[in-house]
Chains A and B, each alone.
Chain A
Amino acid sequence: GQQLNQSPQSMFIQEGEDVSMNCTSSSIFNTWLWYKQDPGEGPVLLIALYKAGELTSNGRLTAQFGITRKDSFLNISASIPSDVGIYFCAGLGGSARQLTFGSGTQLTVLP
């Protein structure tokens, strides 16, 4: 089946720094989604991308849908303590509505 490679697996950054994480796939996706999950909670949708090359922002978050449709990145600017959590990319391909999830990036923001 389709697989997503998400990196880095974990990040430790200082408050105020910018963060970047990405996902790559061997298959083409039609939609890329980025989620954040806090401990003991379900994932929360951050950004949805629908077109190759699309660049979308949501506050301090910016995500792009790669032009090849096989990758996406998420940037967080000026990180704050509440950014701590696990970030997942997810891709949707073909006519199915099933998401393929990346392995997650654990973000820790140090004061």
Chain B
Amino acid sequence: GAVVSQHPSWVICKSGTSVKIECRSLDFQATTMFWYRQFPKQSLMLMATSNEGSKATYEQGVEKDKFLINHASLTLSTLTVTSAHPEDSSFYICSANPGTGPTYEQYFGPGTRLTVT
């Protein structure tokens, strides 16, 4: 149980274009999902908290107009990188919290490798 998928697993796009990444909880409902980015040999950096049916909460320094998050259902959150630039190239990982009981484990997707040329 507690499987999270991401699509695509990797994407290459040209500078100036937009890219959408999907995060799905496959066997549970998630009122909250999280988006992280990870640079090589570094830890995960939280970008934003995605809340079903409401606006996402962005971490300090993360441009909300550049990283658009939509959490339209209890099993799907999307991250759109708008007007992508080479510095946006990174490994983007989502996680979801089953939100049941007193525990707060987060289950991670397999990640999406974004390369902006």
Contact = CB atoms under 8 A, between A and B. Distances in A.
Chain A interface size range: 20 to 34
Chain B contact residues (Cβ within 8 angstroms of A): what range? 20 to 34
A50 B106 contact: no
Interface in A36-94: 40-45, 48, 50, 88, 90, 92
Interface string B87-112: 00001010101000011111111110
Contacts of A45: 105-108
Give the dominant DSSP class at B's interface: strand
A103 B105 CA distance: 19
A48 B107 contact: no
Interface of A: 31, 33, 35, 40-45, 48, 50, 88, 90, 92, 97-99, 101-104
16 contacts: A31-B103, A35-B108, A40-B113, A42-B6, A42-B110, A44-B108, A45-B106, A45-B107, A45-B108, A48-B105, A88-B43, A98-B49, A99-B106, A101-B43, A103-B42, A103-B43
